[in-house]
Amino acid sequence: GGGPAWGAPAPEPQRPRRRGGLIAAVLVAALVAGGVGGAIGYWAADREDGSSGSTTVSASDTPRDFKREPGTVAAVAAKALPSVVTIEAQGGDGEGGTGTGFVYDREGHIVTNNHVVASAATSGKVTATFSNGKKYDAEVVGRAQGYDVAVIKLKNAPSNLVPLALGNSDQVAVGDSTIAIGAPFGLSNTVTTGIISAKNRPVSSSDGANSKASYMSALQTDASINPGNSGGPLLDARGAVIGINSAIQSAGSGGFGQSQAGSIGLGFAIPVNQAKNVAEQLIKTGKPVYPVIGATVAMDQKGQGAKISPQASGGSAAVVPGGPADKAGLKPGDVITKFGDTVVDSGPTLISEIWTHKPGDQVQLTYQRDGKEATVTVTLGERMGDS
């Protein structure tokens, strides 16, 4: 899980008022129940057939005799853990940290978060340790800062790698079971469970290291996710990857990110359909490709749509001449309120939705100008690399 971005801080918990009478009543009830339980236990023991020895029943001495049926959390975890790695990234300047990744293919490619390996991307060392304790050196193949996705490749990768199966994040439903695997606070091979709490949650996050923010239309889960889980798989009940754990909202940070504060049950994962597209591009070219509309929108306004700025940074035009937005007739000052079927309430929401598409996709865009609403079709352009 980065530093503060947009999003409302978590509310302060309310301390319950003491109710002495209620506490006393509960205490009396507990004492009475204890007395009744003791009496029943004595009655049962007094009517044994007189045989000596223990009356307890022991479970099997061999845990292997206990069958864990396919589909249980234990069975899913046992199958997935050998394909999940703990990543240690150490930069040339001494900065580094611990994160998680998972086996993407048999060639040794590992998918993780960009912020997990960013410190060692240009100089430094990256290692990946499997659940059996075997450690491998790795190199960074490519990074997508905006998507917060990275691919590393094991050096001298073993021949028996088993990639995790990829699910379909578009078919995930709120309430579906989730299983997260990672190394929270360095505790490798940790498994936690929860459900999908929400879908298409617009999240803007950063790693708190003066880097640019990443944006995702995230899967929200209440599975416990903490720093160190970043880059690890979010699995469905079958054990298929449906997301990459990337960010948390924490009461300590007051926003979305990968700060050192712990989980409060608000975790966010990059949908695997998007992560797969990014990973394939990184493996192929080493650089990410972003779909764009060719317009700069304000990032500090929320609730009224995404407003196209009067001008971009450096004094350049906010609407790129000849770009997708320009061809669709958009102008500076227009407020984009819908992208496809999604209501847009801010700049980060718009970017999150744009980046779920591919360059060349045609999307209906609704905007307001001078109090009037209009809808146009925009053909998304592309931008190569992180600018």
- Of the candidates 147, 96, 103, the one whose C-alpha atom is nearest the C-alpha of residue 282 is 147
Q: Are residues 332 and 353 in the same domain?
A: yes
Count of H-run helices and E-run strands, the chain: 6, 20
Domain boundary among the residues 258, 282, 306 is at 282
What is the rounded CA–CA span in Å between residue 252 and residue 258? 11
Q: How many whole angstroms separate alpha carbon 33 and alpha carbon 30?
A: 5
Residue in the structure block whose two tokens are 């490798």: 188
Token representation of residue 107: 């060639």
Residue 22 lies in a domain: no
Which of 148, 207, 222, 334 does the annotation list as catalytic? 148
Structural domain boundaries, residue 141: 74-154
End-to-end CA distance of the chain: 23
pLDDT value for 12:
38
Q: What is the CATH number of the domain that holds 83?
A: 2.40.10.10
Q: Are residues 179 and 278 in the same domain?
A: yes
User: Nearest-CA neighbor of 83 among 57, 110, 63?
Assistant: 110
pLDDT of residue 11: 39
Same domain, 173 and 275: yes
Measured distance CA(168)–CA(341) in Å, rounded: 20
Q: Other C-beta atoms within 10 Å of 212: how many?
A: 11
The closest alpha carbon to 351, from 251, 196, 213, belongs to: 213
Question: Which parts of the chain have pLDDT scores under 50?
Answer: 1-50, 253-259
225 in the same domain as 195: yes
Structure tokens at 325: 């937005």
Q: Annotate 145-160 with b (16+ C-beta within 10 A) or e (fewer).
A: bbbbbbbbbbeebeee
pLDDT of residue 97: 83
228 C-beta neighbours (distance < 10 Å), count: 26
- Please pick, among 205, 206, 217, 230, the residue that the annotation labels catalytic: 230
Q: How many CA atoms lie within 13 A of 248 on its CB side?
A: 25
Residue at which a domain ends, from 154, 184, 210: 154
pLDDT at 259: 45
Pick from 106, 128, 154: which residue ends a domain?
154
Considering the domain architecture, whether residues 277 and 295 belong to the same structural domain is answered as no
- Contacts for 52 with CB less than 8 Å, ≥ 6 apart: none
Query: Domain for residue 46, yes or no?
Result: no
Confirm whether 54 is domain-assigned. no
Strand, coil or helix: what is 5?
Answer: coil
What confidence score (pLDDT) does residue 359 get?
95
pLDDT at position 344: 94
Provide the CATH number for the domain around residue 354: 2.30.42.10
| Beta strand 381-384 pairing with 241-249 | unpaired
Give the per-residue pLDDT at 25: 35
Shared domain check, 358 and 330 = yes
Determine contact, residues 352/216, Cβ cutoff 8 Å: yes
Q: Which of 114, 120, 153 is nearest to 137 (CA)?
A: 153
Q: What six digits make up the tokens of 314? A: 């450096």
Opening angle at CA 128, ends 126 and 129, nearest 5 = 140
Q: Rounded to the nearest 5°, which phi and psi values hold at 372?
A: -110, 145
Find where tokens 């590992």 sit.
110
Which tokens sit at 44?
A: 């049962």
- Residue 382: how many other CB atoms lie within 10 Å: 12
C-alpha distances in Å from residue 190, one per residue of 88, 131, 223: 16, 10, 12
Q: 293 and 278: one domain? A: no
pLDDT in tens, 119-154: 898 888 999 999 999 999 999 999 999 999 999 999
- 275 with 293, same domain: the answer is no
Strand partners, 150: 112, 143
List beta partners, residue 383: 290
Residue 340 lies inside a defined structural domain of this protein: yes
Instruction: Check residue 76 and give its pLDDT.
Output: 95
Active site residue 357: no
363 and 272 in a common domain: no
Query: Among the options 109, 115, 309, 346, which is catalytic?
Result: 115
How many other C-beta atoms lie within 10 A of the C-beta of residue 129?
17
- State the pLDDT at residue 311: 74
183 within some domain: yes
- Asked whether residue 325 falls in the same domain as residue 379, the answer is yes
What is the model's pLDDT at position 211? 62
For residue 46, give the amino acid letter.
D
Would you state the pLDDT for residue 61?
60
Give me the residue label for tokens 């990256």.
Answer: 126
- So what's the pLDDT on residue 34? 35
Instruction: Give a yes or no: residue 352 inside a domain.
Output: yes
Domain annotation covers residue 10: no
The pTM of this model reads: 0.79
CA distance 383 to 279: 16
Instruction: Give one word for 204, left, alpha or beta, with left for phi > 0 and alpha for psi -120 to 50.
Output: beta
Q: Is 67 exposed, middle or buried (CB count within 10 Å of its CB: 0-12, 13-18, 19+)?
A: exposed
For this structure, is 230 an active site residue? yes
**Residue 192, pLDDT score:** 96
Number of domain units in the chain: 3
> How many C-beta atoms lie closer than 10 Å to residue 15's C-beta?
6
Query: What is the spatial distance between Cα 301 and Cα 291, in angstroms, rounded to a whole number?
Result: 22
The verdict on residue 363 lying in a domain is yes
